[in-house]
């Protein structure tokens, strides 16, 4: 049986206007369906740019990106239904309640009213937001806002979920709860593509990892295989061994 | 349709929770329209109905000075009170403050003497030119000037009106003396009062008739001028809420997230435009209602709506759409909410100035007269004035609606390009 790819990036090149920022040259990356995949690298390595390319926020100059066999293009299409995106910023309406945010983003994700209501109830219960479901999000703590951010990204049960530092700035309890929920999602078939600087936490979540630096994939494999082949004990040591210890801007 | 309705519901919720924005969009323009109409109505009444208080310091004991005071009183524009002669400038200023007078006039001590001398000189010259023998002609020289003190709050146009009125009073006094002198030189008798009255009094009436397109003869008032003008200002002031809202969505990353979702961004733009267009309609309805029903309680003339209500609705919709398009455009290009609010407020005031909301366009000169054409508020105002002041109909405002429509489309185009350039759609 052929292992179907969730993400198939082949030969993409990309540079920002005026070559301002990271540049990709002929980059390839494959992520298996159902994987818990971590993309790591120092600041400015190209993680966010690569996620922006995979989610169609940016368009590659050459090459192609396919999600579950469907090409990501500049034009929106059925491919946008396949994935969810949890950005690092709190990308929702702070004036609205969690229910109102989920209603709006659910509709934009292509769900009908009934499904939105069902999913809203489910998600708010799972993520512990039921008691504050009708309160304005602007009064929430950072951890609660992170959970709202996550709920919006998964309301339409996406096959692939892109997570850009989903636990940054939260307490240990919230971080643990989010990671547990992500593992639960993955068990139900969702492919996770995760980036973070919190490598201890990442080690508990990701089975496959890729290290990116200067717009190049410098290592990619199962985490255990990579640690073994580079003779490192954990992800942080592996990261420093491959990307160096000097400051990055 | 479900997506659009949900988006509209979201926009309404966001709007309703922006208390400061609502305050700026509704309360501020309402206060503005009431205050400005009141002030302009007071100025209008000051010139047309109320009398300006004036004090006269008569240092002359002659006939001409008395006649001049009577002539000033007879103009009907002034409430005259006299103070004792030979006062200093500061005493006049104090007297003006005491009597709450806008004007103070000093008639010099030799006024009558100089007026008489000039009258004799002029009549002598006249007789000589007729070939008649009169008194020997001497050049009398000019009468010493009257000194007029005025309260600096008087606007230029009012001061010019006052100056014109005083000149005609002076002219009357000098003409009377010349006429008397001439009559006496010829007949050696005093000019009879009836003849003097007939010769000097101007009995030709001036009828003032406002020209309107619908043939009605209603005289425009401060309400008819101000309510439409400040309604336009209010509509454009939604930039304070809408511009900021667009910036917040950009900065929070909501736009970016929406870009990853399987819905066309056009839905979001249409929703914003429909929501805020409804707000502008509500603003217009509220301000017009205040003009119609509340103004009389403030002692202001009630607003008369145009007869062509359809034209009024169409103009208001196009004007509101233009205001919404401008606000979204500014929101797309502003980097921060402070930028959107600051630039938005200042630009609205500038557009209002060059658009003729604060100074009439016809009073502008050169560059500013041409610049009025690029202000959408100018075209809105022209259309409203055509309906409210001239009794115009839809056909009369088409020429104003078309440029407004074009400006709106240009703003929409710029917004689209801005969103593309910033990779937001």
A37 contact B CB<8A: no
| Top-tier CATH class for B50-200 | alpha beta
Contact between B256 and A112 using a beta-carbon 8 Å cutoff: no
Which residue of B6, B254, B264 is in closest CB contact with A107?
A: B6
Nearest CA in chain B to A73: B260
Contact between A89 and B17 using a beta-carbon 8 Å cutoff: no
Q: Which chain B residues are closer than 8 Å to A112 by Cβ?
A: 2
Contact between A78 and B264 using a beta-carbon 8 Å cutoff: no
Residue of higher predicted confidence among B155 and B410: B410
HEC states along chain B?
Answer: CHHHHHHHHHHHHHHHCCHHHHHHHHHHHHHHHHHHHHHHHHHHHHHHCCCEEEEEEECCCCHHHHHHHHHHHHHCCEEEEEECCCCCHHHHHHHHHHCCCCEEEEECCCHHHHHHHHHHHHHHHHHHHHCCCCCCCCCCCCCCCCEEEECCCCCHHHHHHHHHHHHHHHHHHHHHHHHHHHHHHHHCCCCCHHHHHHHHCCCCCCCCCCCCCCCCCCCCCHHHHHHHHHHHHHHHCCHHHHHHHHHHHHHHCHHHHHHCCCCCHHHHHHHHHHHHHHHHHHHHHHHHHHHHHHHHHHCCCCCCCCCCHHHHHHHHHHHHHHHHHHHHHHHHHCCCHHHHHHHHHHHHHHHHHHCCCCCCHHHCCHHHHHHHHHCHHHHHHHHHHHHHCCCCCHHHHHHHHHHHHHHHHHHHHHHHHHHHHCCCC
Is B230:B380 a contact under the CB 8 Å cutoff? no
Q: Which chain A residues are closer than 8 Å to B258 by Cβ?
A: 108
Nearest CA in chain B to A153: B257
Task: Return d(Cα B304, Cα B319) in angstroms, integer.
Answer: 20
Task: Give chain B's radius of gyration (CA, Å).
Answer: 31
Per-residue pLDDT tens digits for A31-63:
999 999 998 888 877 888 889 899 988 888 888
CA nearest B398: which of B318, B324, B307?
B318
Per-residue pLDDT tens digits for B22-76:
888 888 888 888 888 888 777 666 656 667 788 888 888 888 888 888 888 888 7
Contact between A56 and B252 using a beta-carbon 8 Å cutoff: no
What is the reported pLDDT for B403?
A: 94
Per-residue pLDDT tens digits for A180-232:
888 988 999 999 998 888 878 888 888 888 888 888 888 888 878 877 888 87
Spell out the residues 6+ positions from residue B117 whose beta carbon is closer than 8 angstroms to its own. Answer: B138, B140, B141
**Lookup: tokens for B133:** 């023998």
Contact between A95 and B17 using a beta-carbon 8 Å cutoff: yes
Per-residue pLDDT tens digits for B196-236:
777 777 667 777 776 666 666 566 677 888 889 889 998 99
Q: Walk me through the domains of chain A, giving residue ranges and CATH numbers.
A: 34-58+83-243 (3.40.50.300)
Mean pLDDT, rounded, of chain B: 84
Which three-class secondary structure state does DSSP give residue A175? Answer: helix
What is the reported pLDDT for A1?
A: 41
Residue B135 reports pLDDT greater than 80:
no
CA nearest B77: which of B159, B152, B145?
B159
Q: Would you say the C-alpha torsion B344, B347, B353, B357 has a positive or negative sign? A: negative
Q: Which chain B residues are closer than 8 Å to A65 by Cβ?
A: none
> A110, exposed or middle or buried, with CB in 10 Å at 0-12, 13-18, 19+?
middle
Which residue of A76, A87, A96 is in closest CB contact with B264?
A: A76
Task: Return d(Cα A132, Cα A134) in angstroms, integer.
Answer: 6
B51 contact A CB<8A: no
Establish, for the pair of chains A and B, how many residue pairs have beta carbons separated by less than 8 Å.
84
Residues of chain B numbered 259-288 and touching chain A (CB < 8 Å): 259-264, 267
Whole-prediction pTM: 0.76
Task: Return d(Cα A134, Cα A124) in angstroms, integer.
Answer: 11
Range(s) for CATH 3.40.1710 in chain B?
Answer: 50-200
């Amino acid at each position: 049986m052929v292992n179907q790819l969730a993400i198939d990036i082949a030969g993409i090149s990309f540079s920002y206007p005026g070559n301002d920022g990271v540049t990709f040259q002929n980059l390839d990356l494959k992520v298996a369906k159902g994987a818990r995949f971590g993309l790591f690298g120092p600041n400015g390595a190209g993680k966010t740019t690569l996620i922006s390319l995979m989610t169609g926020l940016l368009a590659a100059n050459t090459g192609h990106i396919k999600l579950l066999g469907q090409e990501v293009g500049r034009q929106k299409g059925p491919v946008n239904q396949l994935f969810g995106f949890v950005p690092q910023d709190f990308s929702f309406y702070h004036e609205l309640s969690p229910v109102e945010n989920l209603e709006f983003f659910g509709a934009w994700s292509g769900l009908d009213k009934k499904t939105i209501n069902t999913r809203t109830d489910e998600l708010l219960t799972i993520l512990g937001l039921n008691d504050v479901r009708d309160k304005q999000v602007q009064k929430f703590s950072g951890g609660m806002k992170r959970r709202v951010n996550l709920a919006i990204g998964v309301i339409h049960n996406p096959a692939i979920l892109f997570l850009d530092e989903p636990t940054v700035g939260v307490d240990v309890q919230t971080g643990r709860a989010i990671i547990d929920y992500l593992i639960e999602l993955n068990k139900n078939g969702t492919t996770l593509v995760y980036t973070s600087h919190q490598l201890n936490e990442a080690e508990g979540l990701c089975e496959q990892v890729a290290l990116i630096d200067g717009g190049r994939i410098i290592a990619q494999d199962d985490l255990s295989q990579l640690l073994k082949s580079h003779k490192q004990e954990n992800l942080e040591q592996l990261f420093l061994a491959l990307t160096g210890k000097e400051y990055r801007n | 349709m479900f997506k659009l309705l949900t988006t509209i519901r979201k926009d309404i919720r966001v709007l309703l929770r922006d208390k400061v924005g609502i305050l700026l969009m509704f309360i501020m323009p309402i206060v503005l329209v009431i205050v400005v109409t009141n002030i302009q109505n007071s100025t209008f009444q000051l010139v047309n109905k109320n009398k300006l208080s004036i004090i006269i310091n008569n240092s002359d004991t002659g006939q001409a000075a008395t006649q001049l005071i009577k002539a000033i009183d007879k103009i009907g524009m002034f409430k005259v009170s006299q103070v004792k002669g030979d006062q200093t400038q500061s005493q006049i200023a104090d007297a003006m403050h005491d009597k709450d007078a806008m004007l103070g006039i000093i008639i010099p001590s030799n006024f009558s003497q100089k007026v008489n001398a000039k009258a004799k000189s002029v009549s002598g010259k006249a007789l000589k030119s007729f070939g008649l023998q009169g008194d020997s002609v001497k050049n009398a020289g000019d009468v010493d000037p009257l000194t007029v003190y005025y309260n600096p709050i008087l606007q230029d146009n009012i001061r010019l009106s006052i100056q014109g009125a005083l000149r005609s009073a002076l002219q009357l006094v000098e003409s009377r003396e010349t006429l008397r002198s001439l009559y006496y030189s010829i007949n050696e008798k005093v000019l009879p009062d009836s003849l003097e009255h007939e010769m000097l009094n101007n009995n030709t009436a001036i009828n003032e008739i406002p020209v309107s397109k619908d043939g009605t003869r209603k005289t425009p008032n401060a309400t008819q001028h101000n309510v439409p003008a400040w309604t336009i200002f209010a509509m454009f002031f939604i930039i304070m809420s809408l511009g900021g809202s667009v910036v917040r969505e950009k900065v929070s990353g909501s736009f970016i997230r929406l870009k990853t979702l399987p819905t066309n961004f056009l839905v979001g733009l249409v929703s914003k435009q429909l929501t805020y267009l409804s707000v502008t309609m509500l603003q217009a309805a509220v301000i017009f209602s205040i003009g119609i029903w509340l103004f009389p309680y403030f002692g202001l003339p009630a607003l008369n709506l145009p007869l062509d209500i359809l034209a009024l609705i169409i103009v208001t919709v196009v004007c509101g759409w233009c205001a919404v398009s401008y606000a979204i455009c500014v929101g797309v290009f502003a980097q921060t909410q402070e930028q959107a609010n600051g630039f938005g407020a200042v630009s609205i005031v500038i557009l209002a100035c060059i658009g003729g909301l604060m100074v009439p366009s016809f009073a502008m000169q050169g560059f500013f007269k041409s610049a009025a054409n690029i202000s959408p508020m100018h075209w809105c105002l022209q259309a409203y004035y055509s309906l409210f002041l001239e009794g115009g109909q839809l056909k009369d405002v088409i020429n104003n609606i078309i440029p407004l429509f074009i400006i709106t489309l240009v703003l929409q185009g710029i917004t689209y390009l801005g969103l593309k350039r910033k990779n937001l759609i």
